[in-house]
Amino acid sequence: MKIVYFTKGQRGSTCLAYILEKGYSVGAVIGVDQEDEVDQLAEQYGFPILLLDKINSLESVAQLKELDSDLFVLCGYNKILKKSVIEIPPLGTINLHGGKLPEYRGAAPINWQIINGEIIGGCSIIYVDEGIDTGDIIAQEIYPLEAEDTHASVLDKTLEIFPRLLVQVLEQVESGTVQTMKQDPLAGKYFRRRYPRDSRIDWSGMTDVQVHNLVRGMHGPYPAAFTYRDDIKVEIDRTELLEETITGIPGRIPQKRAHQAVVLAKNRGLVILEITVDGEKTDPSTFFKIGDDLGKEKKEDGKHE
């Protein structure tokens, strides 16, 4: 079985290395950007890398057909394929999706699962159809989302699950023993792509749990949750929920502790454990002053907006 592998990012390179070690034949890799890990695998295993900018163009379709593959595997690949590409390989096109389906279709499912306070996450492998993450489910494995999990720790969990799950699916595809489960189109939800601006903390509109989940969900390779102290952008890297209740003006620093600061959300306070300012890890207890109001950028006239 000859595979053409579409990839981007850590999940893609990790799973690619695993299936190559297991002896699967990869005829070519389709990438978005040049990646050192994929380049090293290409040199070791002797497959070409194609960076196709317009994946659905007539030229790209012709190139993909010339590869004469049996199966397309999408892993971390973030471009939407049209029918003319999906239907090229005789054994179909499959996608490794980082969220539980059908609940978490769309972009950034790991982030969204944490931000929404889910206690169960999922790794899914599906057949690709013309919809967005609507294809039949071939395999799905769920895992617990712990109270203090971050995007980084959950990513590690998925990187343990996906390579094994992919090999399981490849064995089924090759032997013709695939059993699928159709998705209920009415049960699913779509989540949009996240932009850096979406990680700004709204102290007056978010509860302590919502702030904490946002911080957890963006901790890792993504732009961190952030706020402002006057005109200084502050990335909030780690927080902790309080057992006691402290209330007051949302966004205000009412209390400092050893290497920590308490900040007030919409309903009550939570603890800021780690921050980054101007790219440097900074002690919250030395950076913040009691009475600081976070979330307001200073205008040139000295007034706050």
Is 20 within 8 Å of 90 (Cβ atoms)? no
pLDDT at 261 over 50: yes
Instruction: For residue range 88-129, list pLDDT tens digits in order.
Output: 999 999 999 999 999 999 999 999 999 999 999 999 999 999
Is 139 within 8 Å of 169 (Cβ atoms)? yes
pLDDT at 162 over 80: yes
pLDDT at residue number 296: 78
Residues paired with residue 6 on neighbouring β-strands, in sequence order: 30, 74
Of 49, 114, 105, nearest to 80 by C-alpha is 105
Instruction: For residue range 34-57, list pLDDT tens digits in order.
Output: 899 999 999 999 999 999 999 999
Percent of the chain whose pLDDT exceeds 70: 97
Please state whether the peptide bond connecting residue 102 to the residue before it is cis, i.e. omega within 30 degrees of 0. Answer: yes
Which amino acid appears at position 184 of this protein? D
Query: What is the Cα–Cα distance from 277 to 227, expressed in whole angstroms?
Result: 11
pLDDT band at 303 (very low <50, low <70, confident <90, very high): very low
CA dihedral defined by 162, 168, 174, 176, rounded to 10 degrees?
-120
pLDDT band at 220 (very low <50, low <70, confident <90, very high): confident
pLDDT at residue number 302: 37
Is 76 within 8 Å of 10 (Cβ atoms)? yes
Q: For residue 107, what are the contacts with CB-CB under 8 A and spacing of at least 6?
A: 78, 191, 192, 193, 194
pLDDT at residue number 222: 84
Which amino acid appears at position 216 of this protein? R
Q: What is the mean pLDDT of residues 239-249?
A: 98
- In order, the DSSP letters of 222-262 are SPPEEEEETTEEEEEEEEEE-SS---SSTTB--EEETTEEE
Residues paired with residue 127 on neighbouring β-strands, in sequence order: 94
pLDDT at residue number 284: 98
pLDDT at residue number 187: 86
Of 78, 152, 86, nearest to 114 by C-alpha is 152
Q: What is the mean pLDDT of residues 245-264?
A: 98
Q: What is the mean pLDDT of residues 144-161?
A: 97
Q: What is the mean pLDDT of residues 11-30?
A: 98
Q: What is the mean pLDDT of residues 265-293?
A: 98
Residue-wise burial string across 13-24, b where 16 or more C-beta atoms lie within 10 A, e elsewhere? bbbbbbbbeeeb
Q: What residue has token string 């889910």?
A: 118
- Helices 9-21 and 36-45 cross at an angle (nearest 10°) of 20
Percent of the chain whose pLDDT exceeds 90: 93
pLDDT at residue number 185: 80
Q: What is the mean pLDDT of residues 254-261?
A: 97
pTM: 0.91
pLDDT band at 298 (very low <50, low <70, confident <90, very high): low
Is 253 within 8 Å of 266 (Cβ atoms)? no
Q: Please, what are the domains in the chain?
A: 2-191 (3.40.50.170), 196-287 (3.10.25.10)
pLDDT at residue number 305: 32
Query: What is the Cα–Cα distance from 188 to 268, expressed in whole angstroms?
Result: 33
